[in-house]
Chain A
Amino acid sequence: QKEVEQNSGPLSVPEGAIASLNCTYSDRGSQSFFWYRQYSGKSPELIMFIYSNGDKEDGRFTAQLNKASQYVSLLIRDSQPSDSATYLCAVTPSGYSTLTFGKGTMLLVSP
């Protein structure tokens, strides 16, 4: 069973702070790692993807991947109330083109 684990939250941070979202996965051979944002009642939208160990930055977002620890994280700098949503971690298992999603972490950014 390929599993992706996330803390369900909610994670509450004040506006302007850094939000740190974490995800672990069970399949050591996983190739691709994605972070999606999902607002209530809406479908997921892709924030970032990462394939190589290390950090990848895109605007206020930084994805971090550590394959040895089977861990991927998403940092959101200067958090805004509009960032309040559920963040889904998704992993492509080895040998597959499908995505396995975690249950998501709810982020609440207070003004």
Chain B
Amino acid sequence: GAVVSQHPSWVICKSGTSVKIECRSLDFQATTMFWYRQFPKQSLMLMATSNEGSKATYEQGVEKDKFLINHASLTLSTLTVTSAHPEDSSFYICSASSLVGGGYNEQFFGPGTRLTVL
């Protein structure tokens, strides 16, 4: 299957600082990338969908000014958590999508980034 990487795999930061997470599709060009957040013992919650060269579409309740998404190329998307606070501590996972047979999109997940805000 296709490979998606994330960097960093974990980060600890002080409250009020900004953190950037990178998501790369290594061996394919992703038409769409997705950002999820997962709190302990909860399911994945979609935060936003991004297409290369266009503005991200944010899910209801997700602050677009706090979670900045840049999708500069078909292989790279970044999520910046601005002015992070302890409640932003979570597991952030990206996925990249490409078309499979029949026109259906299959999502390939990155390994995730564990963010801890002190």
Which chain A residues have a beta carbon within 8 Å of chain B's beta carbons? 31-32, 34, 36, 41-46, 49, 51, 88, 92, 97-104
Contact = CB atoms under 8 A, between A and B. Distances in A.
Interface of B: 1, 32, 34, 42-46, 49, 91, 93, 97, 102, 104-112, 114
24 contacts: A36-B109, A41-B91, A41-B114, A42-B111, A42-B112, A43-B93, A43-B109, A43-B110, A44-B109, A46-B106, A46-B108, A49-B104, A51-B102, A51-B104, A88-B43, A88-B44, A92-B105, A97-B32, A97-B97, A98-B34, A99-B46, A100-B46, A101-B45, A103-B43
A31 B112 contact: no
Given A88-B43, A98-B46, A98-B49, A43 B106 contact: no
Q: Which 6 A-B pairs have the closest CB atoms?
A: A43-B112, A103-B43, A43-B109, A101-B43, A101-B44, A97-B105
B28 to A, nearest CB: 14
A103 to B, nearest CB: 4
A49 B109 contact: no
A13 B114 CA distance: 31
A51 B103 CA distance: 11
A98 B109 CA distance: 13
Contacts of A101: 43-45
